[in-house]
Amino acid sequence: SPRLTVVPSAGDVADQVARRIAAAITSNPKLVLGLATGSSPVATYQRLIQLHRDEALDFSQLTTFNLDEYIGLASDHPQSFRHFMQQQLFDHVNIDLANTHVPDGQCLDIEKHVAEYESAIATAGGIAIQLLGIGSNGHIAFNEPGSAADSRTRQVSLTGQTIRANSRFFDSVDDVPRTAITMGIGTIMEADQIILIATGDVKADAIGDAMLGPVSPDCPASLLRMHNDVTFFVDESASPKR
Ligand code: GLP
């Protein structure tokens, strides 16, 4: 069953999650880490960069797998999740880019690519810690409501709500890709440990539904309650209000 850790501020969430990840890297430098994009993990990445600079936290043997990527965006497109990871984390630590994996939004054969992504995770030995954000409709990665508990890495269509929410990063809503590649819920659930980060009152309802509502694909994050090592790390304003 899930643990809910409520701390006063978004900064406290970042501190605690970064400390936990750093401890895991220190005890196993070859850790396989699942990473997320969006605004939620940014402060955590900043803490990890600090720990690299101040305490020589070593990323050199780490392997990472990101959750998702927009279809159609080149890896150097400013809004691609590959570009986001470079800017927010990879360019600032001593990670070997060859060991960083983000789905390729420009792959020519999506079926083949998603199968290869799944086998790369398996070959790496599986994901030890998976970081997650949560969408305001309860989506995790790009698994929108209705996604099956046993879904795998695949192509998905984004909901209008997600397209509108993510349009803040684009010039206009028309520029937001309509499809994406995402790890499935079944893929995510195979991580040994899952850490979901949510901050701000816009996430309180989603956290309430995920933690206290029915376990149902209607709220993809609620399916995480079937995992035996999941922690919801939230600040006061994102804590469930019911
Ligand atoms: C996006 C991502 C999710 C992320 C969610 C919330 O759609 N695919 O992985 O968790 O939005 O984003 P944010 O953290 O910016 O609120």
* 17 touches ligand 1 (CB under 6 Å): no
Domain containing 117 equals: 3-219+229-238
pLDDT band at 1 (very low <50, low <70, confident <90, very high): low
- Predicted confidence at residue 241, as pLDDT, reads 84
Computed over every residue of the chain, the mean pLDDT equals 96
* 222 touches ligand 1 (CB under 6 Å): no
Q: Could you tell me if residue 224 is inside a domain? A: no
Indicate which CATH number applies to the domain containing 122. 3.40.50.1360
C-alpha–C-alpha distance, residues 201 and 199, integer Å? 7
Residues acting as catalytic residues: 68, 137, 139, 144
Tell me the per-residue pLDDT of 135-168, one tens digit each, with 9 for 90 and over: 999 999 999 999 999 999 999 999 998 899 899 9
Residues 6+ apart with CB under 8 A from 62: 25, 29, 30, 31, 32, 33, 95, 96, 99
Q: Could you tell me if residue 166 is inside a domain? A: yes
Q: How far is the CA of 82 from the centre of ligand 1 (A)?
A: 14
C-alpha–C-alpha distance, residues 163 and 141, integer Å? 13
Q: Could you tell me if residue 158 is inside a domain? A: yes
C-alpha–C-alpha distance, residues 189 and 195, integer Å? 11
- Give the chain's domain count: 1
Q: Could you tell me if residue 139 is inside a domain? A: yes
Buried b (16+ CB within 10 A) or exposed e, 172-205: eeeebbeebbbbbbbbbbbbebbbbbbbeeebbb
Residue 242 has pLDDT above 70, yes or no: no
